[in-house]
Chain A
Amino acid sequence: MKLTKSKINDLLTQPGCEHNHNKEGQGKNKSCTQTANPGSAQGGCAFDGASIALVPITDAAHLVHGPIGCSGNSWNSRGSLSSGPMTYKMGFTTDLSENDIIFGGEKKLYKAIAQLIKKYNPAAVFVYSTCVTALIGDDLDAVCKAATNKYETPIIPVHSPGFVGSKNLGNRLGGEALLDHVVGTKEPEYTTAYDINLIGEYNVAGEMWGVLPLFKKAGIRVLAKITGDARYEEVCSAHRAKLNVMICSKALINMASAMKERYNIPYIEESFYGVQDMNRCLRNIAQFFGDQVLIERVEEIIEEETAKLDIALAPYRERLKGKRMVLYTGGVKSWSIVSAAQDLGMEVVATSTKKSTEEDKGRIKKLLGKDGIMLEKGSPEELLRVVQKTKADLLVAGGRNQYTALKAKIPFLDINQERHHPYAGYIGLVEMARELSEAVYSPIWTQVRKPSPWEIWQQEHESLLNLEAEGE
């Protein structure tokens, strides 16, 4: 399917999306339609978003159709982990040259696909269009179709030119590609009564691996992971799940709602961050299936895990109690991390509401209390101002703000995509607690904040020097 204006509009006005101010499908998702401002825009493009959503399918090849900028500057930079195939980690691109742009890139693309399949034999190939190939009008669909027929390997076009929008929209474009070409193309080997899909969890830093064992223990089977550490085939058969569980991300809401429509699979939204959320997630799934045995088993697991957790967290709770945190992250995380922090006895003095829905904001307000600050904007200056004003002990934000904090000599913890340690599930909370306490209590802070002896001397003698100067 081609990328049309109405298609994009469709994606921006997902009726299921809580970002919609008007749930009847008329309102628009604010964070999706916000047009980028020249001179002050930050953040990735639609292509970036689409690859974030799809690259975690580990046995597929991801071929970027465009000049070197898109792929050369970005491949191999995300922390989504694989338990097996490594094909997804390779950078494939048509690396268009000036000639290709003048005469069109379709032939080169076809050849590239052919070579890729011959040499690397992937389970499938995702082909991403980018700004330039969209602009010169290469017919991605036609090339992919021809190649699919010829090579008997699924070749999936992903219409993701950067200029159509933000990373968020790109996520959904990735989801569209899955809906149009992947989901429902294969039957699972077997099904169980408790088959679920996880949607919108990309196994960054292996986070998912902290959670999957819990499902298994409870007797819940994850049919397809969309897309963290997924194999292509499992996504193909995702349409046979009984329930879609959207994780901490509205990014792929279009998939959840389309699958509800097409395959009658209901969906719920959950989070893996913090004890409360993790408990709620397990309970909600069990509740959905309504099986008494399952419900009991989940309760047992929760009890067991929280007991273990209390012991593991005790020393951290002690150290972190009353520490003040400024949080700057997007969407659902803004409140799920708040609750995780409060679990640890920390005080969240400010958080962002930039990508949050009205519902998110309501929840945040409740969690933060009346003194909590809600940040609409998150420019580095603004963040630093808030940290100073609230006398916060650390900043928790995405990697983009890491140096904002460090340069200002403020302890920092990275909460987004680029981090290297898993924070999800019960295990993740221990990891997060450990890192929070390491960040706050690191012996470096006194060193980097300390003036040199000569500066101290000068300060102490300032008045003396002034007197002398006056005396002259």
Chain B
Amino acid sequence: MTTILNPNKSLSVNPLKMSQPLGAALAFLGLRKMMPLFHGSQGCTAFAKVVLVRHFRESIPLSTTAMTEVSTILGGEDNVEQAILTILEKYQPQIIGLLTTGLTETRGDDMKRILKTFRDKHPELDSFPVVSVSTPDYKGSLQDGYTAAVESIVAADYGNVPDDEPPTVGMKPQVTVLCASHLSPGDVEELKTVIEGFGISPIMVPDLSRSLDGHLEDDYHTVTTGGTSLTQLKQLNRSCLTLAIGESMRKAATILQERFGTKYKVFPRLAGLDAVDSFLWELSQILTSRCDHHFPIVPNVPAHLQRQRRQLQDVILDTHFYFGGKKVALALEPDLLYQTAWLLTEMGANIQAAVTTTKSPILEDLPIDSVTIGDLEDLEELAVGSDLIITNSHGTSLAKRLKAPLYRMGYPIFDQLGLGQRCLVGYRGTMKFLFDVGNILLEEEAKHSPVALH
């Protein structure tokens, strides 16, 4: 069992952690025609926007209740109301995601009451969904904020499915896929394709693959142009199973179980041969389980995935030389840390240091004796002598000081292109990771080999 160290320093140096509101906004951005609304002073929104714009290189819709000194003293009720009305008028979203910040949480704004008053005052907006989530900056990290937003999204009541929807009988089985914060738009896309390949229709919550993948639209939009649609959210009750990708999605899955009786499976990671194998096996069982038990059918895994599996095995063979015995230091959010650390370990590398941002039960099961909830200063101390550093773009200068190469993961990454489409899950994503990192390690080895000296 991994020991979790939580030094709780007075001084955080070179923070690894980003705030809950930022994470919540990210999750909300995976809904279609959405406008995330920060209840706080305008700076929080501006910073979050800059981070997301730099990371994805996309325009990002975000808005603020713009609390001032006066409204902070008097209460933010009017600001929330005015903000919602303005957004509705100016941007015509189909859904608003309302999240709190450090300021309004410290003030103690009672969001339930504020929203209730708003509802009472505006019966004409009765059916307009406002998903509210509490995300104080002084607790948790980006992952926590993201997770809290997903929980609010699946817990909200979106009203009934329109009557003219076709009946589901005889249609493809539907599953709900809860996508945690460690999945990029490219990861979500891959997941969706894989699941569809089995003849299953997935509802991704949230679906960043249609909102932050980077694509051109014909017109200009001020809200998200893709993502989980309102209709899909209304139909969550039709899913036969919830697939929770990432340990942090467990609670959201239980919420769906409580609401609709949907069973769930948690997949803490989707990279690495075993992890992907068991995921595909589960998918194959969804169709199989619908058949007569007396006449079992062969689990039908699509041919291209079977082929990818053989490719991955070959890639593992080809790349393992460079991973064997290498010391790797990681500073990532819990879900991403878990996935990456185990994959590296399975390749023969050793995890020399692990730093993370926030508590999670999954931290107890890492391939290393202890993990530190800390910052990049901690990483710099722990990573001395590592062969590879894996963290976000802020790690550039520390990697230089430690004379180790850096592989960028997490948020924010502002000095690299193509993150929206980068896929590191599934057989395909695992191969991509092994090639990416393998090449870095190979290059390092070549640099230090005696031949290079001549």
Contact = CB atoms under 8 A, between A and B. Distances in A.
Interface of A: 35-48, 63, 66-77, 86, 89-98, 100-101, 108-109, 111-113, 115-116, 120, 131-132, 135-136, 161-166, 380-381, 384, 399-400, 402-404, 407-409, 418, 448
Contacts of B86: 37-40
Interface stretch (B42-50, B185-193, B194-202, B329-337): B42-50
Interface of B: 8-15, 17-22, 37, 40-48, 50-51, 53-54, 57-59, 63-69, 72, 78-80, 82-87, 90, 101-103, 106-107, 136-139, 141, 216-217, 220, 222, 394, 397, 414
A381 B43 contact: no
A45 B15 contact: no
B72 A135 contact: yes
Nearest to A403: B59
Given A44-B47, A48-B43, A131-B102, A164 B136 contact: no
A127 to B, nearest CB: 11
Contacts of B10: 94, 108-109, 111-112, 115
A77 B387 CA distance: 27
A418 B54 CA distance: 10
A108 B9 CA distance: 9
Contacts of A93: 11-12, 15
Given A38-B80, A163-B72, A73 B18 contact: yes
Nearest to A73: B47
B43 A45 contact: yes
Contacts of A68: 12, 15, 17-19, 137-138, 141
Given A39-B85, A44-B47, A73-B47, A132 B137 contact: yes
Given A38-B83, A68-B137, A400-B53, 12 more contacts: A39-B65, A40-B87, A44-B46, A69-B20, A69-B21, A73-B51, A90-B13, A96-B138, A113-B11, A116-B13, A132-B137, A399-B53
8 contacts: A39-B85, A39-B87, A42-B46, A43-B42, A68-B19, A69-B137, A89-B397, A404-B59
Contacts of A115: 9-11
A38 B11 contact: no
A136 B107 CA distance: 9
B199 to A, nearest CB: 28
B42 A67 contact: no
Contacts of A38: 64-66, 78-80, 82-83, 86
Chain B CB within 10 Å — which of A45, A384, A400 has the most?
A: A45
A66 B90 CA distance: 33
B15 A163 contact: no
Given A101-B138, A132-B106, A132-B137, A407 B216 contact: yes
Contacts of A98: 136, 138-139
Given A44-B43, A407-B59, A73 B22 contact: yes
Nearest to B16: A72
A409 B54 CA distance: 19
Contacts of A399: 53
A164 B139 CA distance: 24
A409 B216 contact: yes
A39 B45 CA distance: 11
B137 A163 contact: no
Contacts of B37: 39
Nearest to B65: A38
B263 to A, nearest CB: 35
B148 to A, nearest CB: 15
Contacts of B11: 63, 92-94, 111-113, 115-116
Contact of B14 (A44, A74, A91): A91
Contacts of A108: 10
Contacts of A409: 216
B42 A162 contact: yes
Contact of B13 (A66, A92, A113): A92
Contact of B15 (A48, A72, A112, A448): A72
Given A38-B65, A132-B102, A132-B103, A69 B12 contact: no
B82 A71 contact: no
Nearest to B51: A73
A118 to B, nearest CB: 10
A101 B50 contact: no
A95 B15 contact: yes
Contacts of A131: 40-41, 43, 72, 101-103, 106
A195 B101 CA distance: 46
A132 to B, nearest CB: 5
A62 B12 CA distance: 12
Contacts of B136: 67, 98
A86 B53 CA distance: 25
Nearest to B59: A403
Contacts of B59: 380, 403-404, 407
Contacts of A67: 19, 102, 136-138
B108 to A, nearest CB: 10
